[in-house]
Structure 1
Amino acid sequence: MQLFQSDQEVETLIEKFNTCCLPAEAWTHEAHLAMGVWYLRQYTLTQAMLLVRQRIILFNSSVGGPVGFERGYHETLTWFWLKTIDAFLNEYGREKALFDTCNAFLESPRADRNRALLFYQKEEVMSLEARAMLVYPTNISHPW
């Protein structure tokens, strides 16, 4: 995984994402997470959720990405990752350099792409219901 070298690098990623100019192949797990960090430094969790939902759907549509029932925007995973990033930022702080914050999150165990499986059964989180609307975790005893 290549980490960010500057705040400008993160800002450029976000600008390209927000304007639907980011190449589809650059929309990686790490890019998703950096986007979450950026939004949660600017907005509350609820505001970020509303904006991120809108932006991901728009971005996927603009690059010919998946928008069907089996792939594309996923409500529960979007909420899960924003909730996870928000918990990290509450501990780490929101005032440090943007690229340092992104890198610290990406290097943490919380960024593991399989992290949701600590909270959800795979069949549950991959269901159409979880894709369409928020399904709360079954394992709420695990710390964010």
Structure 2
Amino acid sequence: MTKDYAPRLFTGDDAVRHIGNGLVNCTLTRPEWTHEAHLAACLWIIVERPDIQPENDLPGIIRRFNESVGGVNDETQGYHETITQCFIRGVRRYLARTEEGGLSGRVNGLLLADEGQRGWPLRFYSRERLFSVEARLARVGPDLQPWP
């Protein structure tokens, strides 16, 4: 798997909304765009932005943000389709089974849950498949075990 990290939890709903709005509006700074921020933005979009369909819209939103902070989206860096789609599925799975109170409570619960762990996709994908050029550019199915 991957090294265990203690997640950086959110102090309140405004902190989550700052990340979500900052991603959509390309106003975040590059250092703010962490693993925790990715998951917070995804959960915020699902919960508070029904006008955004994460599976379809988040790829373009993330690519645009990456470019806005000087990043590149290509075969080796930037946006990763399979990881993004995997975590969208994980966020939806988490939300389906929890009723944590408040936006930040839900995000923090996700960050502490299995689906919020950095290495969660490696339960389904071999490292070789997940970090392949094919998986970065297009969604590929898991090769270790099917989705739950």
- Of the three residues 84, 95, 112, the one matched with 1:89 is 95
Native 8 Å contact 2:81 2:137 kept in 1? yes
In 2, Cα distance between equivalents of 1:116 and 1:25: 23
Amino acid at match of 1:99: S
In 2, Cα distance between equivalents of 1:97 and 1:139: 35
What is the CA distance between 1:13 and its match in structure 2? 1.5
Amino acid at match of 1:12: H
In 1, Cα distance between equivalents of 2:12 and 2:126: 37
In 2, Cα distance between equivalents of 1:37 and 1:102: 7
Identify unmatched segments of 5+ residues in structure 1. none
In 2, Cα distance between equivalents of 1:42 and 1:7: 11
Q: Identify the residue that residue 53 of structure 2 maps to in structure 1.
A: 47
Q: From the superposition, tell whether residues 124 and 15 of structure 1 become closer, same or farther in structure 2 (CA, over 3 Å).
A: same
What is the CA distance between 1:109 and its match in structure 2? 2.4
Matches within 5 A, 1:1-144: 1-42=7-48, 47-93=53-99, 96-141=101-146, 143=148
Give the secondary-structure state (helix, strand or coil) at the position aligned to 1:137.
coil
Native 8 Å contact 1:118 1:142 kept in 2? no
Deviations, residues 74-119 of structure 1 (Å, cap 9, x unaligned): 11111000001100000014x7311100000011122111111110
Amino acid at match of 1:106: L
In 2, Cα distance between equivalents of 1:136 and 1:142: 9
User: CA RMSD of the aligned region, Å?
Assistant: 1.8
Identify unmatched segments of 5+ residues in structure 2. 1-6
TM-score, structure 1 as length reference: 0.89
Amino acid at match of 2:67: S
In 2, Cα distance between equivalents of 1:14 and 1:84: 18
Amino acid at match of 1:117: L
Residue correspondences, number: 141
Q: Which moved more, 1:47-56 or 1:78-87?
A: 47-56
Amino acid at match of 1:53: P
